[in-house]
């Protein structure tokens, strides 16, 4: 059986000023003075703080990730940031296809796949988000919706390069609600099956993160579920103490 080292990524979303770097220092302090983390730790701040997070996090093993990238390397795309630019300031990961971007910016599976390809091309590891709405779950479509997103959002290059899949039921993001442990187990098993079907042994090694109201109080049991290889954490990643508790729950 393959052992997958867990990964915990914090998504700061559109939160964080330079003063928030104090929270990063507090996290670094906890990580270096406490028990060694049993997970790869990634912080994805707003683009304005990425260079600082990459520089400041390095000594404590905290890796930096972007929250989005453009599909092209450079050009006339005002306000956009390319994967190469993220890599240039020290990012190693980038979130693509977060449900907030799919909703706010009308990002399609095809676009998400192109972003994941751009990320791989720039030497980044894309964290590709998938997840159903509450209406889709209520209609019994969660599994088929996520399978379709996986088929179209995960690039073929995942067969040769490292990618991460994050299952984030949209109705659980920022709501304090989570699926039952059985529902998480079932969905992660389905995702694993789809990845193995498509990528063989490589698919058995792809990390599948759970995201959606992961908190200090529920992290231990959720992160222990089979095929949950870590978490993508929003709100609870903003406070070093909470994020550290989640990391330590692995």
Catalytic residues: 98, 168
Nearer to ligand PEP, 62 or 127 (CB): 127
Residue closest to 47 by CA, chosen among 90, 7, 101: 90
Least distance in angstroms from the C-beta of 30 to ligand PEP: 19
Reported in sequence order, the residue ranges of the chain that DSSP labels E, i.e. its strands, are 7-11, 40-44, 62-66, 91-96, 125-130, 164-167, 207-211, 230-233
- Closer to ligand PEP by Cβ: residue 77 or 220: 220
Cβ closer to ligand PEP: 196 or 239? 239
d(CA 6, CA 95): 17
Nearer to ligand PEP by C-beta: 70 or 102?
102
Which one of 165, 232, 246, 250 is in contact with ligand PEP (CB under 6 A)?
232
Q: How many residues bind ligand PEP (CB under 6 A)?
A: 13
Nearest distance, CB of residue 176 and ligand PEP, angstroms = 8
Hey, what are 158's tokens?
């995942």
CB of residue 160 vs ligand PEP: minimum separation in angstroms? 27
**CA torsion angle 80 210 195 133 (round to 10):** -70
Nearer to ligand PEP, 84 or 208 (CB): 208
d(CA 95, CA 117): 12
Containing H/E element for 73? none
Distance CA 53, CA 63 (A): 8
Instruction: Rule CB under 6 A: say whether 45 interacts with ligand PEP.
Output: no
> Of the ranges 65-73, 84-92, 105-113, 234-242, which one interacts with ligand PEP (CB under 6 A)?
234-242
| Minimum CB distance to ligand PEP, residue 152 (Å) | 20
Task: Give the one residue of 42, 69, 146, 233 binding ligand PEP; rule: CB under 6 A.
Answer: 233
Q: Which is nearer to ligand PEP, 8 or 199 (CB)?
A: 8
Give residues 146-185 in contact with ligand PEP (rule: CB under 6 A). 168, 173-174
Strand partners of residue 93: 65, 125
CB count in 10 Å sphere of residue 2: 6
The tokens describing 246, both together, are 């989640």
CB burial string 74-85: b at 16+ within 10 A, e below = eeeeeeebbbbb
- Within 206-225, the residues that bind ligand PEP by CB under 6 A are 211-214
249 is an interface residue for ligand PEP by CB under 6 A: no
Q: Which residue has the tokens 């701040």?
A: 45
Quick one: which of 35, 174, 206, 36 has its CA closest to 100? 174
Stretch that binds ligand PEP, among 21-29, 74-82, 184-192, 232-240 (CB under 6 A): 232-240
Sites of contact with ligand PEP (CB under 6 A): 11, 168, 173-174, 211-214, 232-236
């Amino acid at each position: 059986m393959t052992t997958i080292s867990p990964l915990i990524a914090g998504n700061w979303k559109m939160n964080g000023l330079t003063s928030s770097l104090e929270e990063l220092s507090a996290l670094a302090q906890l990580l270096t003075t406490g028990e060694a983390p049993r997970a790869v730790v990634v912080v994805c701040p707003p683009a304005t703080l990425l260079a600082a997070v990459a520089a400041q996090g390095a000594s404590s093993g905290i890796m930096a990730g972007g929250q989005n990238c453009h599909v092209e390397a450079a050009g006339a795309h005002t306000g956009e940031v390319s994967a190469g630019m993220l890599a240039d300031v020290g990012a190693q990961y980038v979130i693509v296809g977060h449900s907030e971007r799919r909703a706010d910016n009308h990002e399609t599976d095809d676009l998400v796949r192109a972003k994941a390809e751009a990320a791989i091309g720039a030497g980044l590891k894309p964290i590709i988000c998938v997840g159903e709405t509450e209406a889709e779950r209520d209609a019994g479509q969660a599994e088929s919706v996520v399978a379709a997103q996986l088929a179209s959002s995960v690039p073929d290059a995942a067969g040769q390069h490292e990618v991460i899949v994050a299952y984030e039921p949209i109705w659980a993001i920022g709501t304090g609600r989570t699926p039952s442990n059985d529902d998480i187990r079932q969905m992660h098993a389905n995702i694993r099956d789809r990845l193995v079907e498509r990528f063989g042994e490589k698919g058995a090694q792809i990390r599948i993160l759970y995201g959606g109201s992961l908190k200090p109080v529920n992290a231990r049991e959720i992160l222990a579920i089979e095929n949950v290889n870590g978490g993508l954490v929003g709100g609870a990643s903003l406070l070093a103490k909470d994020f550290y508790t989640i990391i330590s729950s692995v």
